[in-house]
Structure 1
């Protein structure tokens, strides 16, 4: 029965949090992708700056690739910041939607009913009847003596 409870619990958690988990996976993939792009853009800025080092200030056209790469870095930084924020929000949402299922008490089979056997029932009934008869006789005698 514990295996059945575990299976049902896992299935319920999986179906309850499926959308949030998918959303979080997509955000994590996008974050990783943008992080790679940002690293590439930073490297590109460094390469472009190395290529334009000590360049004649009149030749601004040669600085255009460096400026473009710098814009890419800034855009990717802004996107990455927003994606990291959204990923953290998705993680919080997933934790909120994941239900906590906890087995409080292990299930046990019902207790067996204990029945009196015929002999035991007759014996107990006889003892009880004898006790009641003696009690009635004692009470009658006390009442007779009082009157």
Structure 2
């Protein structure tokens, strides 16, 4: 009994491939129609969509505290045991959490109330935001909103001011702002602000980066700065006490230049002053050592924020160039045509094989 082999020879495979290519070649006009149609659709979509500009600032962040070993060595040479003072790590403001800091209501609202140098004169970003979004037209007839002004001191803001700022913050966070890390292994952060008005996008991006980075630096160095100020005050106080004791000793010695060495009582005050000077000198030396260590520690807490790229006008927009749009549209149309006619071909072959069985 003989059976039909299901194996396909190389010659049959080449023959089928040749038939398939000839079939596609016979549909070349349809390929052109598909490519032209999708190119037209993509050009129309690209031209009709709202043009938006994106301002991008990228920077690298290196947290302070990397030189703790050097600080410990310096402390040991100075004869001071720091213990765990330098081993405390504050992970509140690591690079991952800074992304949320950029999206916080405080940072965005402070940025909205920042004055920016627009081409037609400086103005608050919040005023430009209201003007560009034509919000005052929407507020017509609403009591208290038609003539509301943000160009007043912050402490004079009413509930309406705070409510609007909260609403603006949500709008910025959802539709304008994007903060991301291009690589999880690198301490690089990208801050993107997208808007229909490129100057507003740039000015808001610049102000937001400035405000957040300044807040971050101050917060990172706040504790070490307070400790430094306390030590500096102590050093100044001890120095004044030491100088006063030295001055008093000189006055006592000058008051009796030819003192009789047989009289010991007058020497008591002089000896007391010398003890005070020795104690104050030792205390001042210790405080100065701690002060110098605190200065090094304070400098090590300063984070390195190095701007890599910053937005420059004119900004890039979301619309493609005409040539790129036509090419991409043609390729997409041709690919879809290939899928369609390949499916048709496979279906016909399958139906033909079933008829012969």
Question: Would you say same fold, with TM above 0.5?
Answer: yes
Residue 114 of structure 1: CA displacement?
2.3
Higher relative contact order (CA 8 A, sep 6+): 2
2:318 paired residue number: 112
1:66 aligned onto 2:239: no
Indicate if the aligned counterparts of 1:52 and 1:63 stay in contact, CA closer than 8 A. Answer: no
Residue 52 of structure 1: CA displacement?
3.4
Q: Structure 2: how far apart are the matches of 1:86 and 1:15?
A: 22
Q: Deviations over 1:47-98 (max 9, x none)?
A: 1112232222222111111111111111111111111111110010011111
Q: Deviations over 1:107-132 (max 9, x none)?
A: 4655332275xxx96xx96xxx9xxx
Q: Structure 1: how far apart are the matches of 2:250 and 2:321?
A: 90
Q: Structure 2: how far apart are the matches of 1:12 and 1:52?
A: 61
How many residues get paired? 122
1:29 paired residue number: 233
Q: What is the TM-score with the length of structure 2 in the denominator?
A: 0.32
Runs of 4+ in 1 over 2 A off after TM superposition: 107-112
Residue of structure 2 aligned with 1:97, choices 293, 297, 301 = 301
Q: What is the TM-score with the length of structure 1 in the denominator?
A: 0.74
1:38 aligned onto 2:242: yes
Q: Identify the range of structure 1 (43-52 vs 14-23) with the bigger mean alpha-carbon deviation.
A: 43-52
CA RMSD of aligned residues (A): 2.4
The structure in which a higher percent of residues are strand is: 2
Q: Structure 2: how far apart are the matches of 1:40 and 1:54?
A: 24
1:57 aligned onto 2:261: yes
The structure in which a higher percent of residues are helix is: 1
